[in-house]
Amino acid sequence: MFKEVPSQVDLPALERAILEFWKKERIFQRSLEQTAGGPRFLFYEGPPTANGKPGIHHMLARAFKDLYPRYKTMRGYHVGRKGGWDTHGLPVEIEVEKEIGSTGKADIEKYGLERFNVRCRESVFRYVREWERLTERMAFWVDVDAPYITFHNSYIETGWWILRQLWDRGLLFEDYKVTMHCPRCNTSLADHEVAQGFRDDVDDPSVWVKFRLKGSLPGWHDLGEVFFLAWTTTPWTLPANAALALAPSAQYLLVQYQGQKLILAQARAQAVLGRGRYKVIGRFKGEELEGLRYEPLYQGVQGRSDQVSADAGYRTITDTIVSLVDGTGMVHIAPAYGDLEIGRRTGLPTFFSVDLSGTALPHFPKFGGKFFKDADPLITADLEQRGLLLRSERVKHNYPFCWRCEAPLLYYAKTSWYIRTTAVKERLIALNQTINWVPEHIKNGRFGDWLNNNVDWALSRERFWGTPLPIWRCQSCGYQECIGSVAELSQ
């Protein structure tokens, strides 16, 4: 009476039979024809990069991408599903660099930019057949016969048009800011790229450094040598120190400790020096110690030529950013490597200890030419030898690495182009509340937190294979113009 059902089902064979039926009967195409008169719902796939093979994580993402268009189709919508290929950017460049034996931008320049870009263009569809097989095998319904391709001039010109709209609204601008920088790729990274490369439990140095006071403390004389005590996990930034920041309303102690006089926050003294191991000589509020001068750890440090004089540095300042939860209550300020805003507020010079490749500058004889992480122990040893190190330990903490080449990142002050996303921050936050998030906690959790902490988007990349920024600058007068189309450029 009934057709016999096998006791064991061959699921892969069943899937292949269904796929063959859908293909033979043109089910995808017929679903579009059947809904041609319905309301439109357009889906653009966030494009994969076809210079690498697809992985299991792509199947999960594509399952979600396929599910919702099918649901909308069953509701009567005419759902256009546009596929695409991401053919620009670091993923492509780094794969080609591996092939030609490049270790960085200098090697690419020696190889030749035109040759390099040709290799990038040739590589981007290397695994397109594997992607097509995955698309077909998992029944992901998407139009890959006429995909959008990001290196096509038509796509690039669309990007130019968008940038021109931002330019006309004052939302595209150039600025000198601290940005996350990859020393191997030698380019800035956006916040979402940085977030993909954080690692837990990274082992780094933890050093307590002494800065020798010049002159005397207010109301005190004949004290002999007095040192401000600061803590850092980035010794490589110490040669670029420009100031020491104190909390203005916090209490600070002058203590006698192991034969030396140190100044640090009262709230941190026991944690740093140990209970009962120091003698309190004097007490101060942070604001009373503002404006005192100290000796630089290193002489002859280079700074920005268009910035304030080096003489404006090597002094104590006060700021509410100073935490009393860790450290010494006295923050080492290096504007070039993360503290540029406080440096601007307080008129500090911007000094440099490493270049954009992460290499310590050559005028430091004991560590010049070393990669910044390799310079850490050399700087620590040098400070200890000169009597400027209280102690050194190791600490495990979170640290960002490049999401593509895995090099440790650094904060670096430099000129970049930005989109002023902070100008629409409140609107973004409000619109987020109108979205039906699944799961719901993402709305005010991960995504909401990201919106609340939104910063201007560092758009530019100092690389070779990508969309060129359509901004022209007059070399004589500095006038700038943003071009919005190829036709406009030809004029």
Could you say which of 1.20.1440, 2.170.220, 1.10.10, 2.60.40 is the CATH number of the domain covering 172-197+406-490?
Answer: 2.170.220
Q: Which of 369, 281, 292, 362 is nearest to 330 (CA)?
A: 292
The pLDDT, as a whole number, for residue 40 is 97
> How distant is the alpha carbon of residue 228 from its chain centre?
32
Please give the structure tokens belonging to residue 180.
């996350």
Q: How far apart are the C-alpha atoms of 212 and 254, rounded to whole Å?
A: 13
The pLDDT, as a whole number, for residue 76 is 96
Q: Which of 281, 279, 227, 219 is nearest to 254 (CA)?
A: 281
Q: Which of 32, 54, 53 is nearest to 41 (CA)?
A: 32
Q: How far apart are the C-alpha atoms of 179 and 190, rounded to whole Å?
A: 8
The pLDDT, as a whole number, for residue 307 is 65
Q: Please give the full DSSP string across 205-238, using - where no structure is assigned.
A: EEEEEEEEEES--TT--S---EEEEEEES-GGGG
Block means of pLDDT (10 residues each) for the chain, length 491 residues?
A: 80 94 95 96 92 90 94 96 94 94 94 97 92 94 93 96 98 96 94 90 96 91 93 98 97 96 97 94 96 94 72 94 95 96 94 96 95 98 98 95 95 96 97 96 95 92 95 94 94 82
Beta-sheet strand order (sheet of 40-44): 40-44, 78-85, 143-149
CATH, range 202-400 = 3.90.740.10
Strand partners, 84: 148
* Radius of gyration from C-alpha coordinates of the chain: 29
Specify the DSSP element, H or E, that contains 448.
helix 446-452
pTM of the model: 0.87
The letter for the amino acid at 304 is R
The pLDDT, as a whole number, for residue 190 is 86
Domain with CATH 3.90.740.10 in the chain: 202-400
The pLDDT, as a whole number, for residue 378 is 98
DSSP, collapsed to helix, strand or coil, labels residue 300 as: coil
Strand partners, 228: 211, 263
- Residue 275 to residues 208, 211, 237, 278, 308, Cα–Cα distance (Å): 17, 23, 30, 8, 42
The pLDDT, as a whole number, for residue 8 is 85
Domain with CATH 2.170.220 in the chain: 172-197+406-490
The pLDDT, as a whole number, for residue 345 is 94
DSSP, collapsed to helix, strand or coil, labels residue 390 as: strand
